[in-house]
Structure 1
């Protein structure tokens, strides 16, 4: 293969190669760096257009540089393919860019491609010379060029492709005319980039090209590529186009209005048209369509957001309107209308909640000065809101509580969002003192609040009940002490006389009397515990569950029973009362788990019958801890009743053991639940976190068996 180089053709070849590089660069940039934009049909057409330009320029360059006829014919055919790709992509780009993408169907693309493809086939096959006479080469100014005589098929093909270019130009001209200023410069740049190559191609078609009718169309692609590059860099060609109006503006929920210097509507999206229930608002005065907007579009109007009311088919709606100036010279303005009806309804609903709440909602600044007080202050304290706003919130606090509350308030100022709780006394308008509980949230840095929000609840009745319960508990404990003391003295006397009588008199009833005395002593002790264990517990600590189990196990006559402990974390409790709780549970398991109901007091007989000693398991759960055994369990219908005082199925029990367990749990504020263990025995679950959810009975734990 031989090539030709002449001084006349070298500059022309350089421009052709530059056009090819520019077009190929635009293709690579779009495909590699702007893949996010390839979903848009106009961007895909843009890629096809520049790819066709690159193929056309490169193939035509090689056709000129080659010498022999076959080589020139091959590159000419490839340039033909590039020209078809350019024209079809140009048509698709113009249609999509002008917001007529719905026309780009497969049928349309097939129709616009059919004639050029047939022309290419006739050119490639030279069928009956319909497209052109047999190609020959000739020498012009020392340059070997093709001598072509076009046939009727070529004329039809060229005219058809020109027609596509004219249609594409028409779409673009309409886009330039209809576009607002924000699109107009971009649209003009696109129109120039497409029409520049059209002129030299007409010169070639008329046979007026230089040096044997060279085609200068690929040379013009250099100008097109530069214009496209400027449009991409300066006017965001691949980011925003008039076609984007449908995707971004027409379908947006907010209203979109463009008005000119005479306040005439030049563009409006579907949301605005639906407000008026008509599509015929283009060209009308905006103040006639939306009277409340008149104050926003005057000469002295600002660009701040303002609310207007619009009465439409759907009822009265409230809109936030923002005016933006798009062009100082033409006074083109953009109006954005955001529907805030639901937002205002929500705001009014929450405002109604606050104004009608029984709690006090107060907002104070960093000095404690009341900036907002809910109307509930009139019913709770007897003060109207206006009386309290501007005063210090601490003026109403009881003098004995004021210092501690001030210190707590100041410490909360250092936290970003401090949520704290405090109980104190507030003075009412009548001079009385009410017990209240306040939860404070530091929202000084919140731009919508800029203060400390206090939620205060009247707990006077609750405090009164707590004091009454405390007095009742104290009285109950005193009563239990007196009763146990008064009962122990005669019981001790009876036990002493029984010992003396057993030495002098041999009677079969001595053991029964001694057993009755023991039962009375146990009952007295349990009654005293019941009076004490159910009282609220104020001081707790992290207690190692394994240590507490060991202490409790040593205090109970467990016989042959065994235990296992799976403790993954400590329990927040009063250790002494936790040990007593475990003691009662262990005693209950040993008494009811190792013996049968028919012979509960004879553990030896139970062993002889092959009943295994009970095994007790203790472990922690995400919510607390559990104690379970592998005994006969507690029937479902008796699980609530066994926690009542005096309920027992054992002749040796007092019936107070599980009641004491329930009292200790209640004193801690725990939730007790009785269920069934994996072995069918009794399982006691304690929720120490304030939730009743617990893991299944057969939770997997790692345990160590101990005798």
Structure 2
């Protein structure tokens, strides 16, 4: 047999030690010839050989040598290279030498013979010894690696019998960390895997799954719960397979088990997070899309598709600049290149719908890392309404600024600082009218509290109004004399709260200098008092003589029946009417403040019942209710009715009809008498104007005064039947 034909081709380096140099060379030649893998080095002394052990795979040594015999040399080799194969190739054959060699740990023993066949045998012995040693070394390395692997696995390896309970034959790795039981307890049966470790609710399912895989010869993977020695529940993942014996039966099960409790929790959290994200993505009121680093949209929610008028299949694959009219590839790439994972950018854009219409949006863009690739999440919101509101706010602000700056009344704005226990009012704005009225510049007040600005009783005066407004959360009216730098003036005003989210944030004040008005009012009041005193004197001094005259006239009529006495009676009546009208005018105070809801038909009927109307008729064509002083409204009707009757035709066949009806913004009273010429209508409200014999000329003047006291306007026009119509407008209807 040619040893050189062996499958092992790795060189085998042999150190041959023999004191016979010629025999050594001969042996080297034959050994290398019969096995071309052998590389033989010769040494003639053990001293030389000991220095050359490194780098050799086998030592072949003679027994009888001058320095040391083969056994002594073997012992020295074992001290330095205990694993090195050592073959004793000697001419001295004896059982004693062989026994000593075996005791010393010789690998093989071969006796020298005559002929060359012995070198073939030696070559085989060398190859077998080296290959055996190499196999042992490989097995040791394999076992070392396996042990290292097992010791570093995040779990345990096992071999168990395929029986109910799965009794363990071998357990390695992190058994105690996983289960709380030491490996020895499981191997000894002190704790049984299928009875003490697997969760009771998972045992039957585990057995069924594993047996099904074993029956088909496939490996199995299972996830189940275990109960640790301390009573804790963990989730484990196991992979294993059945190991068959020579007869094809299942000899055992071998596998690996690891703790996946944390992974399972993370997976569940991830699933919940994914579900929430999916719900937010699909149900978000905002438009959401995801695009890749090339700007291609990879996903979009329903809102995005609906707002743009596309199907989802149409949107996927579109570029962001196909949607955003203000975007372009270079700009998108530049912005995204500056972003890092977790960055969020906000910017305004304009989206274009499928029909070509556009709308403004606000975009929030974030970078994501998906499968090792950059993607971008864009959340967009239609801000059309917000832009319109902002434009409206800007317009209102401009209007506010215009009104504020150009208002004739004084205006100021206070900011509320602090809380209820320590609130301050800080000036933020004053208009020119307020500066002119008070003599205080905006520069001297803005940013200061009232106490800081004034340091006087004026601060206390204003603060009291402002605090009441703040506390009541309703407008507060005031009228006081203020000691401004411009002088002492009477200020009338209103402070109103600005409430935002239930909190008073600012106060707005409107002020007016009413000093002159108050002075005129006091003068008018004094004049009215004098006029009323005069009217009382007039009433007393004229009515008494008139009553005497009327009384004597009645006595005279009993004694004398003369037509001229009727003339005297008419004069007396005219004087009485004149006195009543003068008193009515004198006692008008010019304004009406006590307003109430008054039905026009009720006031008209009440007035008609107090006027001597003779054959005249009243027609009321109004159901209107107005805000008025009812007594003065009745008086106004009385004068209008009296005026209509006094100017009626004298022919009894032509009795007058007086109508009350509605006009835009008020009411009218008209008759079907002669009417008033157009050129005379401008004078009818003048004191003393009258077209009737014996008229005082004050009736319509009183009407004008009563209307003005209400803030109404009164005018004369032509009636429907060419009579006279008096229209009263500017009347406030009841709420």
Larger Rg: 2
**Bigger helix fraction:** 1
User: TM-score scaled to structure 1, two decimals?
Assistant: 0.47
Bigger relative contact order, structure 1 or 2, given CA contacts below 8 A and separation 6+? Answer: 1
**Bigger strand fraction:** 2
